[in-house]
Amino acid sequence: MGAFQGNLTYKLFFVEGDLPDGWKDHYLTQINHLKFEPLTPDSDADESMGWVEIERPLKSDFMLSNVVYNDFINLGFRRDKYSIPSALLKAHLSEAFREYREQNQKERLTKFEKDDIKTLVQKRLREQSLPAMKVVDMSWEMSTGRVRFWSQSNSLCELFQEYWEDTFDLRLIPANPYIHGLQFNLGDVELERLATVEPSNFVEGRMAME
């Protein structure tokens, strides 16, 4: 979902800080360093996240031409996660424990044996499935310092914010009335009033708190 099609709502952030000298080459290096790496059944981690080309979630071969668009840096933020249903995993583990005890004539298994069997069972189940994939577009308007992220999920926005700051070495501040007031250089009285305002989005006739 994102910038060119799909959901029209996005989360707005403001960038705090100045661009470094030679930012294009520096950021391209950082983006390639933190690009998305696919999960495999042998992976120790249950999830993987990173940058992909915008509108091409299976591609992460970055060049300036597919990252910088005039006044914008556009990227996709991809997160893949293995999600094995707990009941299914429990059933397979129970069967694997039973078979191991019978084959080795043991009444009980040690913690290390259980951990090894669990690793093998998880790998086997992963080989029979694909991780769930989610990709959200991100667009950074350089001249205004505004970053748009096409998701309203708080947990995903927090992950994105941390990953963005690791990539670009700048602080990312979620938009709210007070921050908007700072952007427009409002006076102290107006800023004090805005500090107590709760931000809201109106989507499809419903009010959703950010």
Number of domains, the chain: 2
Q: What is the pLDDT of residues 89-131, one digit of tens each?
A: 899 899 989 898 889 888 888 998 988 998 888 888 888 888 9
Do 32 and 77 share a structural domain?
Answer: yes
The verdict on 17 and 98 lying in the same domain is no
Domain that holds residue 122: 86-127
Per residue in 159-191, pLDDT (tens digit) is 999 999 999 999 999 986 545 444 555 455 443
Residue 46 covered by a domain: yes
Say how far apart CA 158 and CA 92 lie, in whole Å. Answer: 34
- pLDDT at position 106 is 87
Give domain status of residue 166, yes or no.
yes
Residues 77, 118 within the same domain: no
> Is 196 within a domain?
no
Reported confidence tier of residue 7, pLDDT bands at 50, 70, 90: low
Q: Is there a single domain that holds both residue 119 and residue 25? A: no
Q: Domain check: are 47 and 20 in the same one?
A: yes
| Residues 111, 162 share a domain | no
Whether residue 67 is found in the same domain as residue 138 = yes
Whether residue 71 sits in one domain with residue 25: yes
Give yes or no: residues 20 and 106 share one domain: no
24, 60: one domain? yes
Q: Is residue 108 part of a domain?
A: yes
Confidence (pLDDT) at 127 = 85
Q: Do you know the residue count of the chain?
A: 210
CB 187 within 8 A of CB 44: no
